[in-house]
Copies of this chain bind each other. A is one copy, B any other.
Amino acid sequence: MKKLSLAALALACVSPAFAGECSALQCAPFFAVAAAVLALLVAFICYKLMVKAPEGSPRMIEIAAYVREGAMAYLRRQYKVVGAVFAILFVIFTILAIFKIQNPFVPIAFLTGGFFSGLCGYIGMNTATKASSRTAQGASEGLNRGLQVAFRSGAVMGLCVVGLGLLDISLWWIILDKLVFTASNMANGLSIGGLDLVHAGTDNAHKYIEITTTMLTFGMGASTQALFARVGGGIYTKAADVGADLVGKVEANIPEDDPRNPATIADNVGDNVGDVAGMGADLYESYCGSILATASLGAALGTGEGAVENALAFVLAPMLIAGIGILLSIVGIFLVRCKEGATQKNLLLALSTGTWTSTALIIIASFGVIKGLGLPLGIFGSVVAGLVAGVIIGQATEYYTSDEYKPTKGIANQANMGAATTIIDGLAVGMFSSGIPVVTICVAILAAFGLAGGFASTSQGLYGISIAAVGMLATLGITLATDAYGPIADNAGGNAEMSGMPAEVRTRTDALDSLGNTTAATGKGFAIGSAALTAMALLAAYLEEVKIWLGKLLVSAPDSACLKVVKEYFSGAGDLKTAISGIGMKDFVSMYDLSLLNPLLLCGIFIGAMMAFVFCAMTMKAVGRAAGAMVQEVRRQFKEIPGIMEGSGKPDYARCVAISTAGAQKEMLIPSLLAIIVPVVTGLVLGVAGVLGLLAGGLTAGFVLACTLNNAGGAWDNAKKFIERGNHGGKGSDAHKAAVVGDTVGDPCKDTSGPALNILIKLMSMVSVVFTPVVVKFAPVVQEWLGLIK
């Protein structure tokens, strides 16, 4: 194992030089494939190591089996629902492709994106559910043993996400570059079954633009899968949690994770479903989205304003950085190790060493890549800006939600006055906590834009913003590992509690869990920061998509109403085709009036902001309804099953799992479909300007609202734990009761609605990108009918 990690380190160090030497840059995608495969290999090794660890007592195995069964039952059912949605979308995309208003690759690529994302979820969940009893067993032997098992399982998830993500992207790149957009296909066209894969007469200058705008649409599969995973998982986990707490803790007065509570297993399943599978899908999507958006913006740098010689370097830089990031993540993962008998402080140091080493090395490596590829060095500044922003947002999150600082302590203090003041204070803390992240993101956006030369060339600046997100997510392999291991430790605690292990085991798993919370703060900062930067990049990439479709529609439907605006704008410019292919950001602004004074755009911002709120409302309501059903069921079991409170009657765990599963599936559908439908309808009515407004409004209001909900929820949670540790009267005091109300309110905020906003922001962008041809072609028709056009 040590050798492997050394080899990886060596590879990481030479890769910049390697990239510089590789004159044709043609080997870069193969390097990315290799890195991705290596990640999957290491993930497999980690998995095997975890499985080899002892499983614990029969009772522990039994409980783990319940949880695994429940989790897998949930996944099966979720994949069925998602499968149906994917099938419908597949048919829609295919029909659109036949009518030449959709890229013919999209239907298939949509499926691959969704499939890989779903696979990540499955692997992560499979690993996590196998790890819980093993972690509990490990913790019974020592803190470090517990950490090793849990962290390795987290690493499986982290490495699968980056491995499968980069594999999907780099394989598609190789297929499109080497097999589809070949010189002869571009000259003569490539058509299969009536679908024009490559238009005849595509010139070489536009090859990379064609490929990257095609690939950008692939992100939609991952986004859709992520949305369902996040929303469904979020509803599941909180319905079970709230249901279990309300009846168990509050009414029956039994502790958390008590095996007498019928909803306990569902609650533990929920941690896996929401925090492992949901989060993995979320970040898979960010990871792919940032790479694809950057590549697309990079390709556009080959033409238009601020032209540069070699677009390919811009296109491949994100894949290279991602590939190297994988290697460095593996290095970091193997650095996380402690001596036996380590204290919690040692463990924290071990985890931090891993993440910080990867982060420091990726900075050096990015410099090498950017210099090696001959890109402007300012772009390196952009990458650093993104990384620094991620760290600052993480620290701010930590400040606002950890009970070591004033805000959370203040909430605990307000609990003395009752539930109402606890809620008011928590809401205020949440809303206030959006300040630092917003200012940080703004500074990062401006720095990434400016350093990349954006004030001279807008396109280059937007590329800078986009690659900042790639930099932030480059070491996702390890940051996700530190994130995902938290819920595994949490589940191990549940397992220990239910199987009646000694109290010290629970203390150790709690220590592991709270350790995870600290490192996860940084991870969350990177997640939300990268989502914001990626969404900003997708705004620009969307316009690249519009450009390519204007060109295609000029060929396939030259009299289409949508070309009126172009013809007017370029009246007297001679060849329209050349004019369209040279459209720059400034031309778009004039052509579509992308200014704030265009009421179509302003209405878009309004609707985007509203969408964030309405989407949250729907997910929250869904949790309420699903939790209500759970409460009824638990109450019923307490009443009807004899001896359940004495421990002689056996609760019907499966029934609770089934209720949560059914509730989540039912409830996730409408908000998810809304997120897909609204951008299309907005586009058709408000046009391109309205779509941009929608995305900007959703991004800004969504980001602020997500910070508010996440941090309010986190702070309430920790305020409760602070009181439980004996402050303000400790467990059972009035202050504790008030804090429990706060915690319960915070649950859907921080684990359902808040995280789902992350995806809403990105999915709305992806839907807009994918439905570009539909909007470009038909919006003018709809608008003329509505009188919203000159």
* Interface set of A (CB-CB < 8 Å, partner B): 242, 246, 250, 414, 417-421, 423-425, 427-432, 434-435, 438-439, 441-442, 445-446, 449-450, 454-456, 458, 461-462, 465, 536, 539-540, 543, 585-586, 588-590, 593-603, 605-610, 612-614, 616-618, 620-621, 623-624, 627-628, 631, 692-693, 696-697, 700-701, 703-705, 708, 740-741, 744-745, 748, 787-790
Contact = CB atoms under 8 A, between A and B. Distances in A.
B446 A600 contact: yes
Contacts of A434: 610, 613-614
A704 B605 CA distance: 11
A596 B789 contact: no
B446 A414 contact: no
A438 B697 CA distance: 12
A583 to B, nearest CB: 13
Given A596-B601, A609-B609, 10 more contacts: A421-B624, A421-B627, A423-B423, A427-B617, A438-B610, A455-B789, A456-B790, A539-B596, A540-B597, A697-B701
Contact of A703 (B598, B606, B612, B624): B606
Given A458-B597, A599-B449, A741 B696 contact: no
3 closest residue pairs by CB, A with B: A420-B744, A431-B617, A432-B617
B602 A414 contact: no
B431 A620 contact: yes
16 contacts: A246-B417, A419-B419, A425-B620, A430-B617, A432-B613, A432-B614, A439-B610, A446-B599, A446-B788, A462-B597, A589-B597, A605-B696, A609-B701, A609-B703, A612-B704, A701-B704
Nearest to A413: B628
A745 B620 contact: no
Residue among A446, A595, A614, A788 facing the most chain B CB atoms (10 A cut-off): A595
Contact of A741 (B250, B438, B616, B741): B741
A364 to B, nearest CB: 25
A612 to B, nearest CB: 8
Nearest to A705: B613
A724 to B, nearest CB: 17
Nearest to A740: B420
A423 B748 CA distance: 11
A326 to B, nearest CB: 30
A140 to B, nearest CB: 34
A296 to B, nearest CB: 15
A616 B431 contact: yes
Contact of A420 (B539, B593, B741): B741
Contacts of A693: 596
B599 A428 contact: no
B417 A631 contact: yes
B594 A597 contact: yes
Residue among A242, A442, A600 facing the most chain B CB atoms (10 A cut-off): A442
Nearest to A455: B790
A596 B597 contact: no
Nearest to A450: B787
Contact of A614 (B431, B446, B450, B536): B431
Given A432-B614, A597-B589, A624-B428, A606 B455 contact: no
Contacts of A465: 599
Contacts of A601: 596
Given A423-B741, A606-B441, A435 B246 contact: no
Contacts of A425: 620-621, 624
A425 B617 CA distance: 9
Given A441-B606, A628-B417, A431 B613 contact: yes
A782 to B, nearest CB: 13
Given A246-B418, A419-B741, A596-B692, A427 B610 contact: no
A788 B450 contact: yes
A590 B584 CA distance: 14
Nearest to A438: B610
Contacts of A599: 445-446, 449, 454, 461, 465, 536
Contacts of A610: 434-435, 438-439, 704
Given A414-B624, A442-B606, A609-B704, A423 B540 contact: no
A450 B783 CA distance: 12
A465 B600 CA distance: 13
